Structure 1
């Protein structure tokens, strides 16, 4: 069966194709009578006509498509960011295309012959910023997630209040009497981890001892790093502040292998509040990050920029969730 065209609709309604375009493009008010608009809609419905959105988008210079650049979808946090972005996009007739890195750190191969022709804008995590070079959409509106707000280039930033999350964690441990800290830091060189380290160092500068150990973002790498860091009882901390829940899980495994009890001998904290946080035993004290809200805000920021307006919004608040992995500092 031949697919009906706008010419067929025009013939059935007794109007021009231009009138059909105005009515079905919802631009008829003030230019076409309500009676004529009703005739066009009725004819389109009777014929089963559906406009060619791809052709329409090309004419309008818009694809109503956003690209979300993330390190990897194997990380639950970024899957939730996508959920939030896609929800807001759908409410505005947009789609979201994912661009994950195969190994979670470097850029994937550019999936677009021309980013400018295929996309309206880009939302990117600072942890996957290197992938932006491969996309080749330098003139596209860019919204950066969890990145340096002072950096030039992006049209908008959407950030979490990570320094406050670190401060909540440190105050919780200080209130428990901890004065010997180890920061299990991510080895990924990106702004979001830099500000966590800075906030922790500034807060503990005059109140506690702080040592830093870096690790790749895997449980095994974190376990190996922590087994070395905890091996000598003379330099062993009483509290470990981890840059995320995956590193915290590795820290907990290392402690158990060394015969240390959590939290009686060692308190451990994370950041993210992934499902992993309640899968370990004892359950993990961690900073809950509103990942879906990050995605929602990222998409709203992009829509605002595409509308020609500036985007301004405060950092998204975070919350320390206290569970069983933290407790009073052990008595010397």
Structure 2
């Protein structure tokens, strides 16, 4: 160390790197871009590593009035998807000296109580799912630097948006089923007022409207296996031509559809094909394994945190939706002969 057994300071790092203390603060605070060269930034980081220098975050936060804490607001923790979002966000946050507090708001209907005396005083920013927007407003998180996940870029309550390419996921599912020969569809839709589910319904209806000879019926259910089973069973037992494929807004709804199909003495995929959306662990636990759309939850969380860091630094977040991928498994096949 530069001062014997004492802890190295930013002045020691500046002297070792041949730069000013201000340059050290910029580099170690990840605010050097456009202010110092990449070569200088690397020289500062190397000097800090050699000296074993660690910035005093507590002191710096007191000076700057920041806590380096971000709130991630999600609708619930009953699915591993949002656990993946948290993992990705926390990974990026840790690299930049931030912590992430996870705040679930079941079904997006608002929190039981505000977890902070003042969110504006306790937090530097918020990342929130559009399904939890009520909770966001209740804790006044919409008045902080904000990034919305799964949210309409044109109608967001504020801040930047990061989205998965859900519309393309629905296109992939629809084209897969049409290619197999299906023409009669049941849409098992999530009974939640959310932009992401509106996109799914709109894209499905649009794709089928452009294909002659197709029919589409929609029933809604809360995202639970029992609710989905009840809704699907009622729809399948109704009079008229039975759909040959059920398109579900999420994998839990698909699991409920499986139970409904079997209660009616039908089989998957011989009598009816079923698709989901998420690619949860559940998708490979049911039999036959579920054809679904894989959403990269951890990448979603990473991009959300990267966007918030950009907002905090006055930069434009990365543009473009995150790609999704259809995973074809045993739950889909050509429709059987009438």
Which bin holds the TM-score, normalised by the shorter protein?
0.7 to 0.9
SS in structure 2 opposite 1:185? strand
Give the 5 Å matches for 1:243-262.
243-262=249-268
In structure 1, the residue matched to 2:20 is 30
**What value does the CA root-mean-square deviation take over the aligned residues?**
2.7
Q: 1:27 to 1:89 in 2, by over 3 A?
A: farther
In structure 2, the residue matched to 1:127 is 131
SS in structure 1 opposite 2:107? coil
Q: Which of these residues, 142, 149, 156, is aligned with residue 145 of structure 1? A: 149
Could you state the TM-score of these two structures normalised by the residue count of structure 2?
A: 0.84
Measured after TM superposition, the shift of residue 105 of structure 1 is: 3.0
After superposing the two structures, state which structure 1 stretch, 206-215 or 145-154, moved more. 145-154
Measured after TM superposition, the shift of residue 134 of structure 1 is: 1.7
Whole-Å separation in 2 of the counterparts to 1:153 and 1:20: 45
Q: Which of these residues, 86, 89, 96, is aligned with residue 90 of structure 2? A: 86
Whole-Å separation in 2 of the counterparts to 1:94 and 1:155: 19
The structure with the largest alpha-carbon Rg is: 1
Q: Which of these residues, 296, 300, 306, is aligned with residue 302 of structure 2? A: 296
Q: 1:282 to 1:300 in 2, by over 3 A?
A: same
Q: Please, which runs of 5 or more residues in structure 1 have no aligned partner?
A: 1-9, 14-18, 35-40
Residue 176 in structure 1 maps to residue 180 in structure 2: yes
Indicate if the aligned counterparts of 2:108 and 2:133 stay in contact, CA closer than 8 A: no
Whole-Å separation in 2 of the counterparts to 1:295 and 1:172: 28
Measured after TM superposition, the shift of residue 30 of structure 1 is: 2.3
Residue 282 in structure 1 maps to residue 288 in structure 2: yes
Whole-Å separation in 1 of the counterparts to 2:171 and 2:95: 36
Could you state the TM-score of these two structures normalised by the residue count of structure 1?
A: 0.85
Q: 1:75 to 1:152 in 2, by over 3 A?
A: closer
Whole-Å separation in 2 of the counterparts to 1:300 and 1:81: 13
Whole-Å separation in 2 of the counterparts to 1:54 and 1:117: 15
Residue 64 in structure 1 maps to residue 74 in structure 2: no
Measured after TM superposition, the shift of residue 50 of structure 1 is: 8.5
Indicate if the aligned counterparts of 2:293 and 2:325 stay in contact, CA closer than 8 A: yes
Number of aligned positions between the proteins: 306
Residue 327 in structure 1 maps to residue 333 in structure 2: yes
Whole-Å separation in 1 of the counterparts to 2:177 and 2:161: 31
Q: Which of these residues, 206, 210, 224, is aligned with residue 218 of structure 1? A: 224
Residue 269 in structure 1 maps to residue 259 in structure 2: no
SS in structure 2 opposite 1:254? helix
Whole-Å separation in 2 of the counterparts to 1:250 and 1:191: 23
